[in-house]
Amino acid sequence: MSTPTLAALVYAIRWEAQDVVSVELRPATAEVPFPPFEAGAHINLHLPNGLSRSYSLCNSDAERGRYVVGVARDRKTRGGSLYVHEQLRVGSVLPIDPPRNHFRLDADAPRSVLVAGGIGVTPLFCMLQHLAAQGRATDFIYCARSRRDAAFVDAIEALAREHGVALTLHFDSEHAGPPDLARLLAGKGADSHFYCCGPTPMISAFEQACERLGYANTHIERFTAAPPPAADLGGGFEVVCAKSGKTVAVPEDQSILDALIDAGLSPDYSCTEGVCGTCETAVIECDGELEHKDSVLTKGERQAGKTMMICVSRCKGTRLVLDI
C-alpha cells in the first residue's frame, strides 16, 4: 500500500548559510526519471540511519531532472538534519518519495505576498522563481536572525532586481528584534494571496496580522508541529479499511497510523507529527466528529471532512471508514 520510492543520487551538497546546506538530487538511473513538481511541493528523504524527513523543494519547478532541498541543522534535531550535515555524502543513493504539495500557489491571484522565516524560505524561494518567470506581481518578505543565517539571499536579491519583485529583508540583528508583520503586510490588498512558512511564533504572528488587516486569502506551511489542541479523545473506535477489508480497533492511547501498522497494513507516513501530509487518507464515512490535529489541512478542508492525517487525527465517534 505504500507509495513506491524513487532512487536519488546525491549529486551535490552546497553551503548556503550558517548551518544550512542545499542537497541536489538527480535520478540514480536514467530509466526512472523524476516526476515534475509544482512550486510549494516537498519530498521525503529516507536516510540510511532509518529516519524519514520531509524537505521542501527550492529549485525552479520548470527544471526537469533534479530536485534541490535546503536543510538547516536543527538545534533540537532527532537525527535527520544532523545526518544530512555530518554524514551524507555526494555519490550516495537515497530512496525518496515522489513530490507532494499541500502549499500550492493560487494561479489566479492578482498579487502574491511571500513571507519567509529562516529555513522556511525554501518553498517560498521556489514560488518566487515560478512567479518571476510568469511575470506575476509579487512581494517577498524575508526574515532571519542575521544575513549570514539567510539561505539563498543573494539569489533572491538578484531575482528581485531582474524581475521587479518588491523585496523586504528583515534581519533581527540589524533591527534589534523580530519583524512587525502587521506593518510589513499593511496595504498589500485584500484580494492578494498571502503565503508564510517559518517557525511557529512567526506563523502565529502572520496569522494574527492577516486577521487584523482583513486578509482572508492566507496559506501557511509549518516545518514543526503546531501546539496540539486540548485532548478530547472520547475513547477508542474502530477503523474499517475499505480497500483491504480489515477492521482495526484503535484504542484511546494509540494513533490510527500505529494501529493500522500493528494490524499488518503499510500506509504511507513520514513525520508522525501531522506536518508533512504524507499519511493523508481519504475519509469515506465517520459516525462522529473528526478531531483534526494536523498542521496541513485548511479550515475548509477540516470542515469538509473528506480527508485526515492518520498519524495524529482521530474520530470522536465509534466507527470510521477509510479508503485504505
Q: Which CATH class is domain 112-222?
A: alpha beta
Contact 41, 99 (CB under 8 A): yes
Q: Is 1.10.287.40 the CATH classification of the domain at 6-96?
A: no
Radius of gyration of the chain (CA): 20
| CA distances from residue 160 to 60, 143, 155, 281 in whole angstroms, order as listed | 15, 16, 9, 39
0.75 surpassed by pTM: yes
Cα 276 to Cα 45, 212, 213, 270, 295: the distances in Å are 12, 28, 29, 7, 8
Return the residue matching grid coordinates 550516495. 92
Domain limits of the chain?
6-96, 112-222, 237-322
Distance CA 288, CA 315 (A): 7
Residues contacting residue 183 through CB under 8 Å, at least 6 positions apart? none
- Gap between the Cα atoms of 283 and 322, Å rounded: 5
Question: Thinking of the domain 237-322, which architecture would CATH place it in?
Answer: Roll (3.10)
What is the DSSP pairing of strand 237-241 with strand 319-322?
parallel
How many helices (H) and strands (E) are present in the chain, helices listed first? 8, 18
Q: Is 50 exposed, middle or buried (0-12, 13-18, 19+ CB in 10 A)?
A: exposed
What string of pLDDT tens digits covers the 324 residues of the chain?
567 899 999 999 999 999 999 999 999 998 889 999 999 999 999 999 999 999 999 999 999 999 999 999 987 767 889 999 999 999 999 999 999 999 999 999 999 999 999 999 999 999 999 999 999 999 999 999 999 999 999 999 999 999 999 999 999 999 989 999 999 999 999 999 999 999 999 999 999 999 999 999 999 998 777 665 555 545 799 999 999 999 999 999 999 999 999 999 989 888 888 888 889 999 999 998 999 999 888 888 888 999 999 999 999 999 999 999
Read out DSSP for 232-281? Answer: ---S-EEEEETTT--EEEE-TTS-HHHHHHHTT-----S-SSSSS-TTEE
Cell of 125: 524561494
